A and B are shown apart, each in its own frame.
Chain A
Amino acid sequence: MISFEWKKLLRSRRPLLAFLALALFLLLMLVGFYTYARTRTGGDADFRYTFENRSYFNGLTFTVYAFYFGFLLILPIFAATEGSTQLAGETQAGSLSLLLTRPLTKSRILLVKSGVALVYLTLLTGAFLATCLTVGLFFVGWGDLDLYPGVLAMADRHQHLEQTQALWRFALVWPAACVPLFTTLAFGLVFSSWMRSPVNAAATSVALYLVMHIVSGVHFFAELRPYLFTSSMGYWRELLHERIDVSAVLREAAKLLAFGLFFLALAHARFRRREER
Chain B
Amino acid sequence: MSEGLSEALLFAAAGLFALLGFGVPGLGESGWDGALRQAGSLRVVTWNVGGTGQGSGRALEREHEAAVAQTLAALDFDLAFLQELSGRSQLERLAADAGGGLRLLSSGSVGVLARRGRARLLHADQEGGRPMVLIQYQSDAGDDVLAACVHAHPWSAQERNAAIGAAVTRLLEQGGHDARFLCGDLNLDLDRRARQDLFTDDEHLDVETYGHATRQLVDAGLRSGPTAEPDRRLDYVLIDPAGLEPVSASAVGPWRGRRVGDMDHHPLVADLRLR
Contacts and interface: CB of A to CB of B under 8 A. Distances in A.
Interface of A: 40, 45-52, 105-107, 111, 148-158, 217-220, 222, 225-226, 234, 237, 245, 247-248, 250-262, 264-265, 268-269, 272
Contacts of B195: 152-153, 217, 234
6 contacts: A45-B205, A150-B207, A255-B18, A258-B16, A258-B17, A258-B18
Contacts of B14: 257-262, 264-265
Contact of A153 (B165, B192, B204): B192
Given A252-B21, A262-B14, A272-B3, A157 B212 contact: no
B6 A107 contact: yes
A219 B190 contact: no
Q: Which of A155, A237, A253, A265 has the most CB of B within 10 A?
A: A265
A247 B24 CA distance: 10
Contact of B207 (A48, A149, A269): A149
Contacts of B4: 272
B226 interface: yes
B210 interface: yes
A49 B194 contact: no
Interface string B207-224: 111111011000100110
Contacts of B205: 45, 47
B193 A225 contact: yes
Contact of A219 (B20, B164, B231): B231
A251 B24 contact: yes
Contacts of A156: 190-192, 222-223
Given A148-B207, A153-B191, A268-B7, A261 B17 contact: yes
Contacts of B11: 261-262, 265
Interface residues of B, number: 56
B206 interface: yes
B158 interface: yes
Closest 9 CB pairs of A and B: A49-B165, A255-B21, A254-B21, A265-B10, A150-B190, A222-B231, A150-B207, A217-B195, A258-B17
A45 to B, nearest CB: 8
B124 interface: no
A197 B38 CA distance: 66
A239 B108 CA distance: 46
Nearest to A216: B195
A226 B166 CA distance: 38
Given A256-B21, A262-B14, 16 more contacts: A48-B161, A50-B208, A51-B211, A107-B6, A111-B6, A150-B207, A157-B214, A158-B214, A217-B196, A218-B198, A219-B194, A222-B226, A222-B231, A258-B21, A262-B10, A268-B10
A153 B193 contact: yes
A252 B203 CA distance: 26
Nearest to A237: B192
A140 B101 CA distance: 62
Contact of B208 (A52, A158, A250): A52
Interface string B141-173: 000000000000000001001101110110000
B230 interface: yes
Contacts of B215: 51
A234 to B, nearest CB: 8
Nearest to B219: A157
Q: Which of B1, B158, B193, B206 has the most CB of A within 10 A?
A: B193
B220 to A, nearest CB: 12
Given A254-B20, A265-B11, A268-B10, A153 B194 contact: yes
B13 interface: yes
Contacts of A268: 3, 6-7, 10
Q: Which of B1, B21, B169, B204 has the most CB of A within 10 A?
A: B21
A49 B22 contact: no
A245 B223 CA distance: 13
A38 to B, nearest CB: 14
A50 B212 contact: yes
Contact of B211 (A148, A225, A272): A148
Nearest to B204: A40
B42 to A, nearest CB: 23
Contacts of A252: 21
Contacts of B209: 49
Contacts of B203: 150
A217 B192 contact: no
B266 interface: no
B194 A217 contact: yes
Contacts of A47: 161, 205, 208
A264 B7 CA distance: 9
B19 to A, nearest CB: 8
